[in-house]
Structure 1
Amino acid sequence: MPENPALPIDDVLDEISHHLETGNRLVLAAPPGAGKTTKVPLHLLDAAWLDGKKIIMLEPRRIAARRAAERMASLLGEKVGETVGLRSRLDTRVGPQTRIEVVTEGVFTNLITRNAELPGIGAVLFDEFHERSLDADLGLALLCETQDYLNDELRMVVMSATLDVEKIAGFLKARVVQSDGRAFPVETRYLGRTQDRLEDQMARAIHKALIAETGSVLAFLPGAAEINRVAERLSDLPSDTLVCRLYGALPPKEQDDAIRPAPDGQRKVVLSTDIAESSLTIEGVRVVVDSGLARVPVYSPNSLGSALSTVKASIANVDQRRGRAGRTEPGVCYRLWHEEENRGLPKSPTPEIINSDLSGALLRLIEWGDYDLMDLNLPDLPPRGHFAAAFDMLVALGYIKADNPNQLTDRGGAAARMPLHPRLSALIVAADSDGEKALAAQMSAMLSEQGMGGNSDDLVIRVSSFERDGSKRANALKAKSKKWSGVNATPSGDPAMLLAKAWPDRIARARKGDPKRFQLAAGGGARLSENSSHQGSDWLVICETGGQTSNEPIIRLAGSLDERLVRKILSESKRDYADYDPKSGKVRARRQKTLGEIVLSETPLTKPDKSVIAQAVVRAVQENGLSVLPGYEALKTHMSRLAFYYRTYPENAPATGQTAAELEAGLLETASGWLHVLITDKGLNGIEAGPMRKFFEDGLDWQLRQTIQAAMPAKWQAPSGRTFAIDYDDEKAPLVSARVQDFYGLKSHPTICDGRVPITISLLSPAQRPVAITKDLPGFWVGGYADMRKDMKGRYPKHDWPEDPANAAPPAPRNRKS
């Protein structure tokens, strides 16, 4: 058997075993190089509690899963598929003797949703959990449910290099084991940012590092495009320096070439994405050059899906990258930013669930038996808008019915059995003939893998290129696609038409006056790139977008359509539509003929129905917030007053939110309902200040309304007889602003809330300018008033400035009230 080298994790293996004998959850914090990935699963094989069952270990990426399985198998003197197996989307190697399965996180999610009890499995290990992928978070939450309700003998180990240990251990109520790493000191050198292209800065930094230092270089870049451009700029390096690329879409052989040590007498420059941060070890590296950037998916419910965005890497990320230079000897890390920029970096990366399309996760949950993602015990909950958008997508695809969301339709059940995004499985389930199903499955396979089919923006060309691709990766995808299609037929049909049938919301028509801009059937728009092959097309079905111009996504892949075919998919309809202009407070209405949201023609409408007006106002509020309403200030005052009451009487505050911001957020979320009520009753007058104030005050519980009115009046009456609004929104709230003379004769300081809260008084000059602020008026009369009186008497000699204001008579009240 090959030698099993000693690693830092060896010191805590017995402690790990001890904790798992008496408990079923453990958090293991171990820095890169400690050996947790390979040593922990092999050590647990002999545990008595495992009782011959399997160990499942999750890895965030296919390359990490493959390398971990290969390394463990080699330590046993075996091949992958014997004691140690592998399951990923394109590579499955398991056998009857397999005891450890290394799987990608998505594979585990599919596994647990289809058999929640996980029979035959004794332990599940989450490796590199700090990366916080959506599948890892979902898998963790579901595994907790399995432990709590179905199988409490099942062990869970969460392993990470940079994890917030206290947070996740508290969430899981788990014990913690901490392992030391094996790291050498790393010197950090800041090169600063320039206005040059990133690729030029990186190439200069690498040249500098190669001259100044020995050993191989690992350079971190945000994506494959930047890696390839930097590689081109390094073509002048000497022959003893190898340049290797490393990112997820590369063939396994090229990935392995990048990871293995450089040949004797040579050194390497490895250009990598964040894939090399923690999941992989590249031998011989003692120099890191870090761009400080990362590429992450960012999702908006109103967009065409997740878009990749380049962001600054977090402190946890850049520290992890720097550590790769000190694995075997002291190293150096060059950073392409200024040291003071560290203060603006986020502490840790944003969990993927916060910025993700949740439709795939929601489909898995419904298969599990409970659609309510927001009710699941997750480390971090996603935005409700993302959940709603995912729900709407599954309804639109026909996978669930809105009134029965916990039950998949036949179409949804077929989609759930495929390891594909719900949109991609829709391609297959929407196809009619066997030939179309075979073509749809190939298209789904191609679209699911980055870089497949080339880079043309024409769907037909991309599909044709993929069909001709004879690479190992392409052939593996085609073999999978045959299984997904369920037929043994030659692919046939029109790719664009298949896509349009499955994704009718992605059908788009060129806008009049600007043929590069397209209106989508689902609403919103997109535009062609400058060199698009689709220029001149009237109708498209949009497959992929990337980047933005003028706040519109850029079309990266689409298929051309004929209007005659479009009309077979989308039915023409008529509707009344209006836009609300907050500046004028008016609506512009028209009667339209449409295909989805694509307007074919329209005529002015002089007397729109109130429901149409309500829809226009709701859209304006959803796009720009409640401030577009003419009665917003009255609404804001109502919310501030209510929030102040909850702050003063916290025992009466609701659990759903008690601050003014939380109350406003709740009203914005429910705006569609109450705006329809107001506008259908009173038209646009319903969103003026008076009706809105009355509507929301009347909406309070009667007892609460009476209590608030008594404890927190909207107005306060001064000794002068004048009444003044009490401001509950100001940071000094409750606040009353009035001229000094209005307070003459007031001997005690005014209060609200049964005397619990003093009113902040802003004393104004005759010119209505603040001259003093106090919460102790009697103290002010005998203190600061004297100096103010001297100043004011000189400026405003015609006004009364008595020496004893507490006993002076206020001016006679005016007829008007403020």
Structure 2
Amino acid sequence: MQNEFPVDDVVAPLLEALQQSGCAILEASPGAGKSTRVPLSLLERFGSRPGRILMLEPRRVAARSVATFMASQLGEPVGQTVGYRTRTDTRVSAATRLEVVTEGVLTRMALSDPELQGIALVIFDEFHERSLNADLGLALVREIREAFRPDLGLLVMSATLDCGPLEAMLEAPVIRSEGRSYPVEVIYRPSASRQDWRDHCVQQILSVTADAQVILVFLPGRGDIRRVARGLSESGYGLPVRELHGGLPLAQQQQVLEAAANGEPLVVLATNVAETSLTIEGVTHVIDSGLAREPVYDPARHRSRLVTRRISEASARQRSGRAGRLGPGCCVRLWSASEVMASHQKPEIARVALDPLVLDLARWGCREPQQMQWLDLPPVAAWNSAVARLRDGGALDAQGGLTTFGAAIAGLGVEPALGMLILAGREQGLPVCAARVAALLSERDILSQGVDLRSRLQALETSPDRHRSLLLEAQRLLAGDPQDRQDWRQSLGALLARVYPRQLARLRQGEGNRYQMMDGPGVQLPPGDSLSGTSWLLILDTDGQPRDARIRLAMPLDETDLDSVLGDHAQWHEQIGWDRQRQRVTGWRQRRLGAIVLHSQPIASLTAEQQVQGLLEGLRTDGLGLLPWSEDCRQWQARVATLAAVEGEHWP
């Protein structure tokens, strides 16, 4: 291989570090060639060892693209010496010696074979992104190296990372490739206060066209990409506009990268897959929205959801650096220079639901997070919350061990909440519908209007060609070709209510769009939504706000859908209190579904104990003035209180 990339200069010391300690850390800036040059160099020089090299990528688009590029460098089709494996797509053969996989694939391999037989070296690429799967994978590989395979090589590669904690944890040498970059002029151009930032983004693209070769535009999601592309089209924009995101088929991703490499002027509208995971050639200008979609725990639906958030300073530097690889470049940032940003992004383990992590570790035999070695220990509250949900769902037993049902969920390769739905759907005669709902919940919303789940399922039936990728994912989850034994329009509500009882919500009295959820939070429908006024909803997605979250996806329910849930979860409680208006103790029997009061009736006769309980409640709220004491009694009380204050040690 020719010495064309900055990282080539450190391959020799990197190989020496791996041969001496079996473990190393490589820090190299984006575009230095670490994702493609290093694995091929190691394949050439490390390949004398028996076994394959396994390289982890945080995204499917990067795994496929990196493997395809490396295969082309060898003059071979992907799947020969270099292959890839993702949850939905695999190109490997008996000849494959370098396998690029998404991070979750390593977890499944380790759980199936704790010795990782046949693997000589594991490479973690883009580790600075600190995904949950990467942290879990590193903890598993560490334990495998210590318990079973001291010969297993480990290389952690990162674009920007404070390597101190990682270096201490792995006791590994750090090799740095400084890279070659040109100065990048950074310009701050925030949008006006009432202007849609995407319209402002279109204006900025138009303003830099004259001297640009490839304009790389960072946008948070596919909806934003479509919006900006439409704005450019309506403006009569002359340059070709290409989209790049994780939902594109491999062939279309390659077409975008090839078009940029060919030197033709164009605009690439990309999500943060282009931040570090992929190298786009020919970039002279970057326009950065400063936003990214990332998973965050949503308490209203009891699992993580993607939300749009401000990126960190480290991410902003990586993005702007894309414009300085060929020569001096320019980066336009669509926010104010005075805005304060976090220095680094929080690792996923500190901000997402931990249900998949807890389930995988239960399969590994670990019931407490302290039993493993972590770069960041999983938060105790998030861990305990995940354990409780998995126990409620039957995936874990009372001691935290994996049940047969939990093992079946883990085998599906989706987050546990969706696995529970898929298995329940098979049992209840709705396997196809349940798989489609799971696919809908694991991908981006296919409709931009309304929150009714039924409209999404109908769209899959009436426009299958338009939603082919989602239907293929649903087919994968089916594990065969079963048919629904009943009409989902009559049966889906009851199925969802049984699987997700905590996500039930009832309309608040006297309000058309505000709801009380079973476990406490209040949520609301968008104004004018077709489901307004519906008595019961099953909440499937919200905007993630902690108070009065806006509902984004829901299933309407009728009373019959709730029968089994009420039988299993509704309970009678006695409510004893003080009626301030009538100045008396009152008691009510209430049937509740969590925080939702279903029925309430007065208690006709209160016991003496209940009377005392209610009176104490009144004293707490209204004070001692409630007691029927005479003036003489109150004078005596005051004298005793005074003496107690003066001679406190002699008074009880």
Q: Same fold (TM over 0.5)?
A: yes
**C-alpha separation between the residues in 1 aligned to 2:335 and 2:447?**
36
What residue identity is the alignment partner of 2:435? A
Deviation at 1:154, TM superposition (A): 0.6
| 1:446–1:453 CA contact under 8 A, matched in 2 | no
2:634 is matched with which residue?
none
Equivalent pairs, count: 612
Once residues 612 and 377 of structure 1 are traced to their aligned partners in structure 2, the CA distance between those partners, rounded to angstroms, is: 55
Pick the aligned partner of 1:408 from 390, 396, 402.
402
Q: Quick check: 2:578–2:618 contact (8 Å CA) kept in 1? A: no
The superposition leaves residues 798-818 of structure 1 with CA deviations (integer Å, 9 ceiling, x where unpaired) of xxxxxxxxxxxxxxxx96899
**Partners of 1:248 and 1:287 in 2: how far apart?**
22
For the 8 Å contact 1:9–1:179, the answer to whether it is kept is yes
Question: Secondary structure in 1 aligned to 2:181?
Answer: coil
Cα offsets for 1:194-253 (capped at 9, x unmatched): 312211322222222224x32221122223333222222222555641222222234444
2:464 corresponding residue in structure 1: 469
Give the whole-Å Cα distance in 1 for the aligned partners of 2:157 and 2:577: 53
Structure 2 unmatched ranges of 5 or more: 622-644
Once structures 1 and 2 are overlaid, which stretch shifts more, 119-128 or 31-40?
A: 31-40
AA matched with 1:20: L
User: Corresponding residue for 2:514?
Assistant: 517
Other-structure match for 2:347 = 351
Structure with larger RCO (C-alpha < 8 A, sep 6+): 2
TM-score, structure 1 normalization = 0.69
Find the structure with the greater CA-based Rg: 1
Say whether the 8 Å CA contact 1:308–1:546 is kept in structure 2.
Answer: no
1:186 aligned residue: 184
Q: Equivalent residue for 1:424?
A: 418
1:382 to 378, 381, 397: 378
Residue identity opposite 1:488 in structure 2: P
Alignment correspondent of 1:133: 131
Whether 1:34 aligns to 2:32 is yes
1:134-191: CA deviation from partner (whole Å, max 9, x where unpaired): 1111111111111111211111100011111222112211111111312122112222
Q: 1:540 aligns with which of 525, 528, 537?
A: 537
- Alpha-carbon spacing, 1:520–1:210, altered in 2? closer, same or farther (3 Å): same
1:794 matched residue in structure 2: none
Does 2:295 correspond to 1:294?
Answer: no
Q: CA contact under 8 A between 2:395 and 2:407: conserved in structure 1? A: yes
Match of 1:436 in 2: 430
- Per-residue deviation, 1:91: 1.0
In 2: Cα distance, 1:579 partner to 1:154 partner: 66
Per the alignment, in what secondary structure is the counterpart of residue 188 of structure 1? strand
Q: For the residues of structure 2 that align with 1:491 and 1:82, how far apart are their CA atoms? A: 43
Alpha-carbon distance in structure 2 between the residues aligned to 1:148 and 1:264:
47
Q: 1:507 aligns with which of 504, 509, 527?
A: 504
Cα distance between partner residues in 1 of 2:108 and 2:33:
28
Tell me how far 1:88 sits from its aligned partner. Answer: 0.8
Alignment-derived partner of residue 630 in structure 2: none
Partner of 1:364: 360
Supply the AA of the counterpart residue of 1:474. Answer: L
Show the counterpart of 2:153.
Answer: 155
Give, in whole Å, the separation in 1 of the partners of 2:619 and 2:357.
44
Relative distance call for 1:466 and 1:316 in structure 2 (3 A) is same
Deviation at 1:333, TM superposition (A): 1.1
Contact 2:189 2:336 in 1 (8 A): yes
Partner of 1:753: none
In the TM superposition, what is the alpha-carbon distance from 1:579 to its structure 2 partner? 9.1
Q: For 1:207, give the aligned amino acid.
A: L
Query: How many Å apart are 1:92 and its aligned residue?
Result: 1.0
Which of 259, 262, 273 is 1:261 aligned to? Answer: 259
Shift of 1:577: 4.6
Distance 1:588 1:47 in 2: 82
Contact 1:37 1:68 in 2 (8 A): yes
Partner of residue 527, structure 1: 524
Provide the C-alpha distance between the structure 2 equivalents of 1:313 and 1:292, rounded to a whole number of angstroms.
6
In structure 2, the CA distance between the partners of 1:236 and 1:596, relative to structure 1 (3 Å rule), is closer
Aligned partner of 1:729 in structure 2 is: none
Residues in 1 aligned to 2:422 and 2:348: alpha-carbon distance in whole angstroms:
27
Question: Displacement, 1:72?
Answer: 0.9
SS at match of 1:241: coil
Distance 1:493 1:611 in 2: 51
For residues 226 and 817 of structure 1, do their structure 2 counterparts lie closer, same or farther at Cα, with a shift above 3 Å needed? farther
Could you tell me how far apart the structure 2 residues matched to 1:97 and 1:454 are? Answer: 45
Aligned residue in 2 for 1:69:
67
Alignment-derived partner of residue 222 in structure 2 = 224
**Partner of residue 206, structure 1:** 205
Which residue number corresponds to residue 459 of structure 1? 453
> Which range is displaced more, 517-526 or 81-90?
517-526
| Whole-angstrom distance in 2 between the partners of 1:603 and 1:135 | 51
Q: Tell me the secondary structure at the aligned position of residue 259 of structure 2.
A: coil
Change in 2 beyond 3 A, CA 1:608/1:559: farther
Q: Is the 8 A contact 1:203 1:234 kept in 2?
A: yes
Q: CA deviation at 1:427?
A: 0.9
Aligned residue runs from structure 1 range 392-791, under 5 A: 392-402=388-398, 404-405=399-400, 407-431=401-425, 433=427, 435-452=429-446, 457-467=451-461, 468-470=463-465, 472-483=468-479, 488-490=482-484, 492-494=486-488, 495-548=492-545, 551-571=547-567, 572-577=570-575, 590-603=588-601
Structure 2: how far apart are the matches of 1:48 and 1:610?
A: 78
Q: Does 1:99 align with 2:94?
A: no
Code of the aligned partner of 1:569: V
Distance of 1:608 and 1:23 partners within structure 2: 75
d(CA) in 1 for partners of 2:438 and 2:449? 16
Q: Distance in 1 between matches of 2:152 and 2:533?
A: 60
Deviates more, 1:240-249 or 1:19-28: 240-249
The residue matched to 2:520 in structure 1 has which SS? coil
> Structure 2 counterpart of 1:310, which letter?
T
Pair 1:431–1:232, CA change in 2 (3 A)? closer
Q: Give the Cα separation in 1 of the matches to 2:484 and 2:14.
A: 53
Identical pairs, percent: 39
**Code of the aligned partner of 2:145:** Q
Q: Deviations over 1:717-747 (max 9, x none)?
A: xxxxxxxxxxxxxxxxxxxxxxxxxxxxxxx
Contact 1:439–1:491 under 8 Å retained in 2:
no
Cα displacement (A) at 1:332:
0.8
Residue 368 of structure 1 deviates from its aligned partner by 0.7
TM-score relative to the length of structure 2: 0.86
> 2 CA distance for matches of 1:99 and 1:241?
41
Q: Deviations over 1:240-297 (max 9, x none)?
A: 4122222223444443444333597852122222221111111221001122233332
Decide whether aligned partners of structure 1 residues 371 and 301 sit closer, same or farther in structure 2, where only a CA change above 3 A counts: farther
Summarize the Cα distance change of 1:171–1:234 in structure 2 as closer, same or farther, 3 Å threshold. Answer: same
Structure 1: distance between partners of 2:563 and 2:343:
51
Q: Structure 2: which amino acid aligns with 1:425?
A: G
Find the aligned partners of 1:156 and 1:71 in 2 and give their Cα distance: 23
Closer/same/farther in 2, CA of residues 177 and 266 from structure 1, 3 Å limit: closer
SS of the counterpart of 1:184?
coil
Separation in structure 2 between the aligned mates of residue 114 and residue 607 of structure 1, nearest angstrom: 61
